[in-house]
Structure formats: structure tokens, C-alpha cells
Amino acid sequence: MKKQLLTVAATAGILFTSFNGSASAHDKLHTVQSGDSLWKLSNIYNVAVNDIQKWNNLSSSTIYVNQKLSVLAPHSHSTDASTAVSTSGSTYVVKTGDTLWGISKSYGMSISGLKALNGLKSDVIYPGQKLNVSGAAATTATTATTAPASSSSTYTVRSGDNLSTIAARHNLSLSQLMSINNLKSHLIFPGQVLKLSGSTSTTIATNVSTASTPVMATYGSTTKVNSLVAESKKYIGVPYVWAGSTPAGFDCSGYLNYVYSKVGISIPRTVSSIWDATKPVSSPRVGDLVFFETYKPGPSHAGIYLGDGKFIHAGSSRGVEISDMNNSYWKPRYLGARTTF
């Protein structure tokens, strides 16, 4: 039978292109389906078209149904390090667009190991920040660089600053920084002096919110968040099926992809590509995605945060269920939270 030829789509897509292909949640190969194009795959997996061509030795943009394509750079865990901009063999200078996941892959580390090495309590980083990429894990809450325009206990806000980056520079969670300064919103202004130490109204043990009533006012659409939560709970009890993406059976990312699509939000199909395609937040709010490092380094499992330290996910043992992020299994494996809102 003649191979069905496909060409690159002429029109541009968006980052969260919906995906119904056959790639599994944790696979590095994509089996081409009818309607696929290199452009579509580049958006799904957050990679460049020319990279997919290079990794698969393609001389043109033509692909065909049932063709298996690599969507991850060969040996990327070790070769990406050659492109890193660093000041020495043991430090790395963060660039615009970097993530802890990408940096950890470049240096063959886990995200949790990189965070421990630099005393990071969240996955928020900023351009110009220096990260240790070798050595012993930090034993005190210090960072590799000190924030400009600050003293040991205060920081003067500059143009372009935001609370998340200020908190990350000083090894604080966003909620801690807001509590220390008695801030009720994320609004700050140049010249404002923020306290970096002092007593807070609530002791924060982790980056997971433990508020009994989740605050959703910071989202542009509370209705969509509520719809997402309601939709996610419809499938409690659906069994876990490897590579499953329907109510007959879900794997972790198949469940997320299905639920988000039901409320009009398209996300990639695999956990790692969802991580790369979403925006980091210092602590999760209802409707955000929470990520965990389970069977391999980096984000390998994810769920939807429900508030009060709980999240809903498709677990490999009991299928779709609600779990406590602070229990003995999930707490040490927590990597961070990201949002689509």
C-alpha cells in the first residue's frame, strides 16, 4: 500500500495544540497519524521543526502514516550541556527561556538534585541567576547569587521586578514574601522596599498551599477553573491504562489532556512536554498542574491541584483518585506547580 504523504501545515498553530496521536505518556517516539505534520508535532512536543528533521535524518518535510519519529534529541541528557552558557565547569548562568527541567537534563541531573544543590524551594528561576551544577547539596538556605539593590533584610523594587522573581532570588516562597510584607495582592512598584525576613502570619513548611478555602480570584476566569475541577471529578474510579486517553482508561497525562480539552484548554500529551509548555508558579492554586518525579529524573507524573494540599490524578494503582500531596510518598517527589491560566 502506498504510503500516505503528509506535508508541513502552512498555517501557524498555537503552543497548546490539541493532540490525539498515539504517543504514550512517557515514550520518546511518536507514531505518525493521519493529519499530522512536522509543524503540528513541533508544537505538541515543544521542539523546532528542523530539530525533528535532524533527529530523524529527514531531508524534507514529508512524513507518512505509521512512521515512527523521535521527538527527543538523541542522548539529550548529556549532549545538551555543550550549549550551556556557564561561568565555569561547576556553575550555569540562567538564560531567558530556561527551566530547571531543561538545565537538569543538560547536566544529567534530576530536578530535585539541582534544587537541593542550590537550596531552591520553588522552580522559579530568573535570567542572570548562577546555579551550581556540581558539588554537595546546599545545607543552608542560600542562593548562588545575591539580588541587586538589596540588603540582608530588605530589597528595593526595580522596574521589571515581580514578586515571584524576588522571592526566588532570596530563597523565599511567594506566599512567605507576601506574608512578611502583609501584601494582599501581587502588585508592587519601583522604589518600594520589601522586607526579606521577619515573622509571618503562617509558617510555610512546603510550597504546597494548605489553605482550607482555595483563593481563585487571581485567575482571569473563575468559572473555567470551577468547570475544570468539576470535570476532573467525573472520572474518579476510571482505571489506569498505559497510554490510555479516554474514560475507558487513562494514564496520567492522557487524563490531564482529556479533562483540560473538555473545558476548552489544549495541552500537550506527555508529562514532560506539559511541564515545558506551561508557566511556573511558586505555589499551586486550584486548577494548576502539580508535577512529581517518580520513576525517572524530571517530571514523570502530574495531576490537578484541588486545594487544601489535595490533587486529582490517574494513579497506576487505583486509577483516577484524589491524593494528599503531603503524604509520605508524594511529598518528597514533588517538583513544582505550573499553570495554563
Do 188 and 248 lie in one domain? The reply is: no
Do 84 and 55 lie in one domain? The reply is: no
- pLDDT of the residue at 235: 96
- pLDDT of the residue at 238: 94
Is residue 335 predicted with pLDDT exceeding 70? Answer: yes
The domain spanning residue 250 has which CATH number?
A: 3.90.1720.10
Task: Kindly state whether residue 118 falls inside one of the protein's structural domains.
Answer: yes
Out of 26, 30, 170, 252, the active site residue is 252
- Which of 47, 70, 93 terminates a domain? The answer is 70
Do 174 and 98 lie in one domain? The reply is: yes
Do 230 and 173 lie in one domain? The reply is: no
The domain spanning residue 153 has which CATH number?
A: 3.10.350.10
Digit-coded pLDDT (tens) for 200-219 = 443 333 334 333 333 333 44
Do 98 and 17 lie in one domain? The reply is: no
Task: Kindly state whether residue 314 falls inside one of the protein's structural domains.
Answer: yes
Model confidence, pTM: 0.42
Task: Kindly state whether residue 210 falls inside one of the protein's structural domains.
Answer: no
Task: Kindly state whether residue 209 falls inside one of the protein's structural domains.
Answer: no
Which residues, other chains included, contact 197 with Cβ-Cβ below 8 Å and sequence gap of 6+? 152, 153, 180
Is residue 37 predicted with pLDDT exceeding 70? Answer: yes
Known catalytic membership, residue 252: yes
Do 231 and 128 lie in one domain? The reply is: no
DSSP string covering 42-62, please? HHHTT--HHHHHHHTT-SSS-
Is residue 258 predicted with pLDDT exceeding 70? Answer: yes
Task: Kindly state whether residue 203 falls inside one of the protein's structural domains.
Answer: no
- Least reliable range by pLDDT among 83-87, 234-238, 273-277, 321-325: 83-87
Question: CA 215 to CA 285: how far, in whole Å?
Answer: 7
Give SS3 for 68. strand
Do 136 and 86 lie in one domain? The reply is: yes
More confident residue, 45 or 130: 130
**To which H or E segment does residue 337 belong?**
strand 334-339
Per-residue pLDDT, averaged over 262-275, amounts to 86
Digit-coded pLDDT (tens) for 85-106 = 444 457 888 876 677 777 877 7
- pLDDT of the residue at 131: 85
- Which of 27, 47, 70 terminates a domain? The answer is 70
Known catalytic membership, residue 313: yes
Buried/exposed 3-31: b ≥16 CB within 10 Å, e otherwise: eeebebeeeeeeebbbbebbbbbbebebe
User: How many domains does one find in the chain?
Assistant: 3
From 112, 308, 118, 304, select the one nearest 208 (Cα to Cα). Answer: 308
More confident residue, 291 or 160: 291
Task: Kindly state whether residue 216 falls inside one of the protein's structural domains.
Answer: no
Is residue 60 predicted with pLDDT exceeding 70? Answer: yes
Q: Which domain holds residue 249?
A: 222-339
Question: CA 164 to CA 207: how far, in whole Å?
Answer: 13
Task: Kindly state whether residue 207 falls inside one of the protein's structural domains.
Answer: no
More confident residue, 83 or 261: 261
Do 167 and 251 lie in one domain? The reply is: no
Out of 26, 30, 170, 313, the active site residue is 313
Known catalytic membership, residue 301: yes
- Which of 70, 88, 110 terminates a domain? The answer is 70
Do 287 and 322 lie in one domain? The reply is: yes
Do 14 and 49 lie in one domain? The reply is: yes
Q: How far is CA 250 from the centre of its chain?
A: 20
Is residue 197 predicted with pLDDT exceeding 80? Answer: no
- pLDDT of the residue at 164: 66
Task: Kindly state whether residue 211 falls inside one of the protein's structural domains.
Answer: no
More confident residue, 311 or 35: 311
- pLDDT of the residue at 66: 84
Digit-coded pLDDT (tens) for 133-153 = 776 554 433 333 333 444 458
Which residues, other chains included, contact 332 with Cβ-Cβ below 8 Å and sequence gap of 6+? none
DSSP string covering 241-266, please? -TT-EETTEE-HHHHHHHHHHHTT--
Do 114 and 23 lie in one domain? The reply is: no
Out of 26, 30, 170, 301, the active site residue is 301
Do 64 and 105 lie in one domain? The reply is: no
Average pLDDT, the chain: 73
Question: CA 132 to CA 138: how far, in whole Å?
Answer: 10
Is residue 173 predicted with pLDDT exceeding 80? Answer: no
Q: Which cell numbers hold the place of 87?
A: 561561568
